[in-house]
Structure 1
Amino acid sequence: MKKIKFLKILFFLITILLISCEEEFDYGKIVNAVKTIEFSNVTQTTANVSGNIITDNGASLTARGICYGTSNNPTINSTKVVFDTATLGNYTCSLTNLAPSTTYYARAYATNSFGTAYGANISFTTLAATIANGITTNNLSSITQTTAVCGGNIASDGASSITSRGVCWSSTNSNPTILDTKTNNGTGIGSFTSSITGLTAGTTYYIRAYATNSVGTAYGNTRTFVTLSPTLPSGIVTTQISSITQNTAFSGGSITNDGGATITSRGICWSSTNSNPTIFNSTINNGSGIGSFTSSLTGLTANTTYFVRAYATNSVGTSYGNVISFTTANLNLTVGQSYQGGIIAYIFVPGDNGYVAGQINGLIATSTNQSTGVQWGCSGTSIAGTSTTLGTGVANTTAIVNGCGTTNIAARLCNNLASGGYTDWYLPSRDELSKLYLNRASIGGFSNVSYWSSSQVGSTTAWSINFSNGSSISTSTKSTLMYVRAIRKF
């Protein structure tokens, strides 16, 4: 009797002990005695939470782990981490992809065939996001007078997405920031390359990588570099002389490279005695900067040979283009006179296309034929826009060259001609060719055969003139072989 009473008292004490445990006990078949032990190693985006399963209550565990969320008493329907073995005892789960500065709630759980039991609810708060870190600035490369290549690498975004990254630089601030000049090379962590432009030659710059997230901007190490020193301007070309009279002419030039220093003066210089004129001879100043410009020469002497070339000046000095020579008009220019690379073939009179009052202008022919037998070209192809009138040969020739791809044709021979120091030769229009016929004896070098004009009649025919009989202006098939004589304007 005493033994039975003792057993009853012992069973009562065990029951009281179980009820006093931290966790509630289920006297059914669901897992009993699940403990949520602790959290540890909390960062901005991760944490460790431990649990302990004391008993499976007679039914084998099928899963155990930690469930968590931003609301109290999370369940396995919330986010959870399943531990890799479903056994009794202690275990620790790593929670990842957490949000910075956020309070989370977590509970241990265990599941058997009868259901799931949970441990106590605990809470922890992740660390706040920081500015990006682990930023390095690349070495500089491909340094020129005005450009360079740099970049950087970002190891960590500080738990807040990188919204802007690049390099910033300055010639005066030894610790440049994004308030100085900068590039924007996208978003995210990792490596990037930056192309730096708009630099000044011969200048020391400070540069460093940067990365911006919602917290702020962080910077990498500062590097210094020096752009290449400026040089003289280059790529200077003197424009062909045009509109030459007894005391005026037009020229000009183009400049493609300022040498890394702003061009402060540009123009042309000329002399009748110095075959390599400089800015210490006669000059025209046509402004500043690179690009093309036009110059008007005045105060020239009639029937005088001049040498002219373009120039450009920057802080380093002055450089020059190619030299071109020309001779001003004679007060008494006549047909048949050698002039500007050929023979004067015709002088414009009032009413002519090209006549300028007070000036002597006209046509110059080469002294010899350019061909003794060549086609007009592209029979069957209509060249739009050709004309027969005086002064239209230039436009005709350009239209033929652009509209006919055949190489060895009359217009192309003239267009490609470089003779007497000039390259602006062309195939005469029908009426210009008629002027050459009228003055053929004074010009010289013609044969009593047919010559091509640049004036088209139709898709298969063009105008020609037989120099044995100038009245024989006729249409000829474009495939016919005829003579060619080039002209230019003066």
Structure 2
Amino acid sequence: MKKLCIILCCLFVACSNKINEDFSINYQDMHTTTEKFIVVYNANGAYGTTPIDINTYNYNDTVTVMPNTNLSKEGFIFIGWSFCSDCAQNILKPGYTFTITSSTILYACFTNEPVYSVTYCALDADSGYPPIDPNYYISGEKAYIKANTGNLTKAGYRFSGWCHQPSQTIYQPGQYITVENADIQLHAHFIPKPLTVTYRPNGANSGVVPYDGLFYDEGDTVTIAQNTGNLAIINMDGVSYCFDYWVDSSGNIYYPGCTHTMHTSLVLDACYRPYRVGDTGPAGGIVFYIKDDYSDSWRYLEAMCEDVLQTGIVWEEQIASGQYRQTGATAVEIGAGLPNTQLCIQVLGEGNYAAKVCSTISAGNYFDWHLPSKDELNILYQNKAMIGNFTSYNYWSSSESTTSKAWCQNLSTGSQNTQYKNNTYRVRAIRRF
């Protein structure tokens, strides 16, 4: 402590001829590596309280210049600190740094000349915030460019510096701009990242190819797209094909959901395989039946993954008490669901009943959903765990048994029976392709 007091009484200040964001004090005295240095802030004739730096420093340590606490001088504006009391040069702004080589006095500097500010703007950034420069500058001073500390970002673009609009000059953090009798506004500048990912349908005649509109830098990580648009090849020589994975021109396989480190732009083609039971169908349902051959314009059946309604619905609304219409939709075999549904609607017309609500579905942008026949409903029951989201209630089929009754099935026990058409049971729509 005694040594520090002696140093305080014998401070030597050298005024450097060079200013930078990292200032060095040049001196000729030799110091031992164990000697400690301090920084003292001097009001230099101003009123108020000076900042107090409680730190002690080793030789060549970095010192961060403190802000003005509340020093003021009537008719003058605070502009920084200087190694010299006349503030003729080397104005250090709060937040600047210098390398200490001896104990140092920093003098408060004020001016009655016009002062100017430097403002940073986010412009068209998507997120983050621009840095703030709280300092004032006189004409001829150098303002050092701040880093993108607020992490301004723009999707598909890379931050490339700060643009001074009048000159269209791009400044990088750490560089400086000279203040010349005007405020300065700097806008965040972005450039497109150079790498892209393109997905191609590769012969699909159903569904929509994913689109990646982002741009990537080398080394960025990209997640390979899922088949969100249900790409498929429907009925190629009697066989339909579902999406399997993506492949590049070199034959490298890219599985949906996996990550890839970008080195070059990617062009990925969809690859397909024949549909299997359990696959997602072209309309987003679950494939639950495949017949041996393509005939009558179909080979596969897919079912919705949810009930059409979260409540029950009648098979037919009564004309009067105990009176129903005969629809002729009596077929029960696999493949009969669509013609049964069409017959029901032809006879029953408008209304709120099982066949009608199934026919109005447009899931997956397909409009051929229908109520399953008795045997199709039984196949649904056999695959209920795979399809999912069934309740323990009865479900209507499209198969009529008599004028007043139709076939239904309990999806908990599997039992099939006939019930009066005005009973309200659940419905699950299917379609064929």
- TM-score tier (shorter): 0.3 to 0.5
Between Structure 1 and Structure 2, the one with more strand by share is: 1
Q: Which has the larger radius of gyration?
A: 1
TM-score (ref. length: structure 1): 0.33
TM-score (ref. length: structure 2): 0.37
